[in-house]
């Protein structure tokens, strides 16, 4: 990379971020020993993101889809042909396809943002291309996906989309993706962040055969080699092996968390964006939930690292937000269950106030008399002081005193020679050495 201004710090997009409100499990009245179910855990997560004791209904849900083309798709890593992303965008905007059908079923509004589609899409409303960054991303096997300026533009575009949706009023945001080759880019990002090999993260994506799977593995391997030195720099990592749509998803997730709005993640592309965002701003993942577990190894690895537990296990995912829309009723069921439990719970007993004593009452007089009796019952014992008389003792040179004199107990002086500690006493004057050592006869 050439010298220039430092890359965007992702913390700027999450300015003002705080953790959701901590929730404790209320006591179960019907079955106090029964463990919490997954629905109850999800219900407390919803309540914490809403800063409420009981979660509110999810009436205003919005699906946001970031679309983009990827240069690596030209390596035949997908079942879909390059350039078909524009057709998928048109179908979704016009209300056709599986994503639109599920959104209509659950009453969810859909917003599509073509931030990196290789088409002008002039036949669609201007809002679809209002945040366009570039037409397609570079082939991450051999070149950077974007310039640093384009990467920062995509990040800020995603943050702006989150601001607009939240300002319009939403209870929950759902993140989706559209783009040929998107799962390949997502696998590269997960492998780079977690230092995994290509074989550990590669999946079937759109449903490729074995030959395409091998080409996809080789493409991920080449891209990961280019990205190793940028693994700890999220913005530069997105520039090197990301794409415009994944960068926009990262900015979207960070700003939604800063605005205290929960987000439901869809598939491997959303999880890859969440992993990159959490490396730039640790702890932000507490504002997200994962819809479903899929057959993509990169999704499993990314979910484990971010500690996101899937709500469902659907196997192979179809992408485009279908998994998240399928899991939406689970969130709504968790909210309804939490509200029902709170309504049926008995009210907590209020503590009884302590009675205040009335001046001059019988209780006060009785307490005063009892206290006086207790004071009168205390007996003060006399203390006898014994005087000790110190008697001076004359000590000759070379002698020491072993005992003290006590008044009225006259003890004769016992003077001990200095050489008492010797093993053997000295012989008396006039006695021979042999007589001193001689034992009495028996």
Listed in order, strand segments (DSSP E) in 137-259 are: 172-178
- CA distances to 183, 187, 268, 307, 373 from 204, rounded to whole Å, are 9, 11, 12, 24, 90
Q: What residues contact residue 340 under an 8 Å CB cut-off, 6+ apart?
A: none
Q: What residues contact residue 59 under an 8 Å CB cut-off, 6+ apart?
A: 171
CB 159 within 8 A of CB 254: yes
What value does the mean pLDDT take over residues 275-299? 94
Query: Which helix (DSSP H) or strand (DSSP E) does residue 9 occupy?
Result: none
Domain positions in the chain are 60-330
CB 186 within 8 A of CB 246: yes
- CA distances to 70, 175, 178 from 99, rounded to whole Å, are 21, 12, 11
pLDDT tens digits along 111-141:
999 999 999 999 999 999 999 999 999 999 9
- In this prediction the pTM is 0.76
Which structure tokens are listed for 30? 């019907």
For the chain, the straight-line distance linking the first and the last C-alpha, in angstroms and rounded, comes to 113
Which structure tokens are listed for 93? 């905007």
What value does the mean pLDDT take over residues 291-315? 93
Least confident of 18-32, 372-386, 404-418: 404-418
Residue 100 DSSP one-character state? H
Angle ∠(66,295,308) on CA atoms, nearest 5: 65
CB 152 within 8 A of CB 254: no
Q: How confident is the model at residue 321 (pLDDT cuts 50, 70, 90)?
A: very high
Task: Please check the confidence at residue 29 and state whether its pLDDT lies above 70.
Answer: no
Q: Of all residues in the chain, what percent carry a pLDDT higher than 70? A: 74
Q: Closest by alpha carbon to 174, among 74, 268, 92, 256?
A: 256
Backbone torsion region of residue 109, taken as left when φ is above 0, otherwise alpha when ψ lies between -120 and 50, otherwise beta: beta
pLDDT tens digits along 333-350:
999 998 888 777 666 566
Q: Closest by alpha carbon to 203, among 296, 269, 130?
A: 296
CB 71 within 8 A of CB 223: no
CATH code for the structural domain at 60-330: 3.40.50.10210
What is the number of helices (H) and of strands (E) in the chain?
Answer: 14, 9
Q: What interhelical angle do 98-105 and 322-344 show, nearest 10? A: 20
């Amino acid at each position: 990379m050439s010298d220039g201004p430092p890359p965007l710090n992702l913390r700027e997009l999450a300015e003002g971020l705080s953790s959701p409100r901590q929730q404790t499990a209320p006591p179960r009245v019907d079955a106090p020993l029964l463990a919490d179910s997954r629905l109850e855990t999800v219900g407390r997560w919803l309540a914490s993101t809403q800063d409420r004791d009981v979660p509110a209904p999810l009436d205003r849900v919005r699906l946001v889809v970031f679309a983009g083309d990827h240069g690596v798709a030209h390596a035949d890593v997908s079942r879909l042909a390059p350039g078909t992303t524009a057709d998928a965008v048109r179908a979704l905007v016009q209300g056709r396809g599986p994503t639109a059908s599920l959104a209509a079923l659950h009453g969810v509004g859909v917003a599509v943002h073509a931030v990196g589609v290789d088409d002008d899409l002039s036949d669609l409303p201007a809002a679809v291309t209002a945040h366009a960054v570039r037409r397609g991303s570079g082939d991450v096997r051999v070149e950077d996906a974007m310039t640093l300026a384009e990467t920062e533009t995509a990040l800020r575009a995603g943050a702006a989309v989150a601001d607009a949706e939240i300002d319009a009023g939403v209870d929950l945001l759902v993140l989706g993706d559209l783009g040929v080759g998107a799962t390949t880019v997502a696998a590269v990002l997960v492998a780079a962040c977690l230092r995994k090999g290509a074989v550990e993260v590669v999946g079937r994506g759109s449903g490729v055969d074995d030959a395409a799977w091998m080409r996809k593995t080789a493409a991920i391997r080449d891209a990961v080699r280019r990205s190793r030195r940028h693994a700890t720099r999220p913005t530069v990592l997105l520039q090197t092996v990301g794409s415009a749509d994944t960068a926009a998803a990262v900015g979207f997730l960070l700003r939604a968390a800063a605005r205290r709005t929960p987000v439901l993640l869809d598939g491997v592309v959303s999880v890859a964006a969440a992993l990159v965002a959490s490396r730039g701003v640790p702890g932000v993942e507490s504002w997200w939930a994962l819809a479903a577990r899929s057959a993509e190894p990169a999704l499993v690895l990314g979910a484990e690292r971010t500690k996101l537990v899937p709500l469902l296990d659907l196997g192979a995912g179809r992408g485009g937000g279908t998994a998240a829309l399928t899991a939406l009723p689970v969130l709504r069921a968790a909210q309804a269950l939490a509200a029902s439990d709170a309504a049926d719970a008995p009210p907590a007993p209020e503590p009884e106030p302590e009675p205040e004593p009335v001046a001059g009452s019988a209780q006060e007089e009785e307490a005063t008399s009892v206290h006086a009796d207790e004071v009168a019952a205390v007996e003060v014992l006399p203390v006898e002081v014994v005087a000790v008389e110190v008697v001076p003792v004359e000590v000759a040179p070379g002698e020491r005193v072993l005992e003290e004199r006590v008044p009225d107990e006259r003890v004769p002086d016992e003077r001990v020679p200095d050489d008492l500690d010797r093993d053997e006493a000295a012989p008396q004057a006039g006695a021979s050495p042999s007589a001193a050592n001689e034992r009495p006869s028996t």
